[in-house]
Structure 1
Amino acid sequence: MTSFEGSYLGASDKISPRAIMECKICWTPYDPSEGDDSRQVLPGTPFLALPDDWSCPGCNAPKAQFLVREDPGNAEEARIEAQTRALVADFTEIFHAKMRDLPMVNQALHVQAVGFRRHEAPELPGTLGVLIAPWFMNLVLIPDQPLALKPGEKLTLTFPSGAYEFIFNTREQTGDYLACALFSPMGDFTSQLQAVEVAHAVMSELMKSENRAETDRSAEIRARAEGSLTEVAQDEAEPSPPEVPTLIAPTRRALLTGGQG
């Protein structure tokens, strides 16, 4: 049985015939509804039914290098899709209502949820991914259960790469969520594609234990973000002032993005 890195811990039997896969090397998708003209694979062919020697049309990576991008036939994927759709809808509404004409907004970007997946953590399980908006990029965790927190309250969560400080907020469609600021403002990004590539890098580097510092960095995060994280909750609800500081130290950001930011 073929295993897939990052896909349900390699359990291919959890991938439905409708699963849309994505190459982790170049992000080329394989959509069963479209097939693959380059290899004469007919539309309607599930990813698991592809020949063993099939490779990525974009970079020739083997099947084992593909991740699940979305799976309409999987109940868990459908739930995550609904959550990210609500998250994007909330922040798209904020953009059009309050942010679109501010000078800090990067008009080359739009709101997009990237890499959201199930996050099984004893301390706080939920759905984890990166939210891109024209004025920020945040690591976002949507918890499984409502949290007894007030907007603006902070919570430190631990990942293989270290401890990260999140701020709590809630939205009408999304419900409760926690956000860790990565970039704000977004003026250094020249395209949506560049922002998406960095978001993918964040999700990859976040889960690598070799990125953990020799000492706990939660104090560093708190020191550098003191006061600023509270502003993030306000920034998302109200227009921000023209100058918004980067909320994570460049060295920390470089660690997470693999130097792509």
Structure 2
Amino acid sequence: MSAESFDVKAHPVIDTHCHLDFDDFAPERDQVIERARDAGLVRMVTICTRVRKFDRIKAVAETYEDVFCSVGTHPGNAGEETDVTTAEIIELSRHPKCVAIGEAGLDFFYPDNAPREVQLDVFRANIDASRQTGLPLVIHSRAADEDMAATLEDEMGKGAFPFILHCFSAGQELADVGVRLGGYVSFSGIVTFGKSDELRTIARTIPHERLLIETDAPYLAPPPKRGKRNEPSYVVNTARILGETIGLSEPEIRDLTTENAYRLFTRMPRAA
């Protein structure tokens, strides 16, 4: 089914992960939001990467009725926020537009990132905040499959918490562990790339009720915008390819992932 053959407003979409506070959007944030609405997006979650910059995150969420946010420390910034406590994250998460904790996790891809033990400590503080608040934890994992799986297994034994493996690009084993532990798996524009056959194979193994879509904008624009700045409206291109991958029409994948997002982000109200 082509994009022209259905009413996009009748099949709304949610971008579960973008970074609207980034300077990339500053010159035309209003227009970016309008293009997203025109594409059928009814909710966007702008994701925090530094607790110390939560003020600018929440300012974006407060400006737009359909934008929500998270609070947490990205593993690439873990070394800067070792003094951030679970209690502080929980307190900031009380903001009415905050619907998630994170993004937090492990990133061993870049050698200049904080040492592994530092990343783990910060990650565990974010996990604890998710566990105590019940807000879903947005997990960043890169080049850390074994450590991530082991950490999730260990932490889940201390008490359950909802989570998303965001911008999934890892292997089948981590996907399996995530699903077994009750997590969701979110696919970005990476799943649309020509060389992502293995990732599309993994996508076919994820239970439909655990699938989410995202842009991770301004990064990872899907075709035909690949190589350019990504923005929330482009999530519909990712939805289309993911739907084709798992055997769903575009309206079906939009409906499915939107319902999944509402079920996971329990604090985020449904669009009227």
TM-score, normalising length: structure 2? 0.29
TM-score, normalising length: structure 1? 0.30
Between Structure 1 and Structure 2, the one with more strand by share is 1
Larger radius of gyration: 1
- Higher RCO by CA contacts (8 Å cutoff, separation 6 or greater): 2
Between Structure 1 and Structure 2, the one with more helix by share is 2
